[in-house]
Amino acid sequence: MKYLKMNNGRECPAIGIGTFMISPADAEVSVREALKMGYECVDTAAAYVNERAVGRGIKASGVDREKVFVSTKLWPTEYENENAVNETLERLGVDYVDLLYIHQPAGNWLSGYRLLEKAYKEGKAKAIGISNFEGKYIAELETKWEIAPQFIQVEAHPYFTQDELRKTLDKYGIRLMAWYPLGHGDKSLVNEPVFTKLGEKYGKSSAQVILRWHTQMGFAVIPGSKNVDHIRDNLNIFDFTLTDEEMAEIAKLNKGVRYYNGTDEQLAGYAAWKPPYEKE
């Protein structure tokens, strides 16, 4: 496993198992099996409605809690709920999380960030982060945080390398955790000739080459899957290293093309929708 040093001195595994759009039943199995095969990071969110399942998967894996980097996110409807962090811990069945995000720049997001800072000071979150904060949102937060975030979670892949955002991140040592790391399953990205060529050279799939590119860019990456073979393959990326020339060749693919664009209308909807949390 490779690790990324955060701006608070702690470390985060460079790859984790993601659980976005995975049902509770499948999330429990994916997390359990991923941890058994060597993953050390699990990412979930209140909005994924599978936090309890993720907690069950962690316990069922038999891996000590201290060896699992648990990442989750508060949803906008919880930003003014003073008990939101405790409720999150209860759903996961843990005493603390390793990384706690606010999920969207919607609603009273500054109040949500204050909850993160409080949780950090109390030891309930060992690191804090922001998800989907780009442009004007991170520019505003930058003037208001008391504690700079350790991570930001945003869309990133070879077609969209977040060059502008990274100028701000680099100022504060904020790490980037990439979602849609394979371009939301876009075959045109995965089948780019450069990845086919490098896959043949290193005996890897195109997806494995792209995931390795992420880690060499300094990104954490959280590919999600309910297929055990895919989960295993996604982890098997640290036995080769792309050269500087190969990284430069991949850099030429950056088109500024993304697969998700959050609109003001969508953000307003996020502020009103309450996740139907799992029941015990």
- Coil, helix or strand for 268? helix
Residue 191 and residue 209: Cα distance in Å, rounded? Answer: 11
Amino acid at 17: I
Average pLDDT in the 141-156 region? 98
How would residue 73 be classed by pLDDT, with cut points 50, 70 and 90? very high
Q: Residue 280's CB: how many other CB atoms inside 10 A?
A: 5
199-208, long-range: CB within 8 Å, 24+ apart, which pairs?
202/240, 203/240, 204/237, 204/240, 205/233, 207/182, 207/233, 207/234, 208/233, 208/234, 208/236, 208/237
204-226: burial string, b at 16+ Cβ within 10 Å, e else: bbbbbbbbbbbbbbebbbbbbbb
Residue 224 has pLDDT above 70, yes or no: yes
Q: Residue 150 has what pLDDT?
A: 98
Q: Residue 161 has what pLDDT?
A: 98
Choice among 48, 101, 113, 180 that is catalytic: 48
48 carries an active-site annotation: yes
| Whole-prediction pTM | 0.97
Q: Residue 141 has what pLDDT?
A: 97
Residue 278 has pLDDT above 90, yes or no: no
Q: Residue 185 has what pLDDT?
A: 84
Question: How many percent of the chain have pLDDT more than 90?
Answer: 95
Per the CATH hierarchy, to which homologous superfamily does domain 3-270 belong? NADP-dependent oxidoreductase domain (3.20.20.100)
Average pLDDT in the 162-176 region? 97
How would residue 256 be classed by pLDDT, with cut points 50, 70 and 90? very high
Q: Residue 121 has what pLDDT?
A: 98
Q: Are the C-beta atoms of residues 114 and 122 closer than 8 Å to each other?
A: no
pLDDT digit string (tens) for 37-70? 999 999 999 999 999 999 999 999 999 999 999 9
Residue 190 has pLDDT above 80, yes or no: yes
pLDDT digit string (tens) for 79-101? 999 999 999 999 999 999 999 99
Q: Residue 280 has what pLDDT?
A: 58
Higher pLDDT, 278 or 47: 47
Average pLDDT in the 160-181 region? 97
Q: Residue 275 has what pLDDT?
A: 93
Residue 279 has pLDDT above 80, yes or no: no
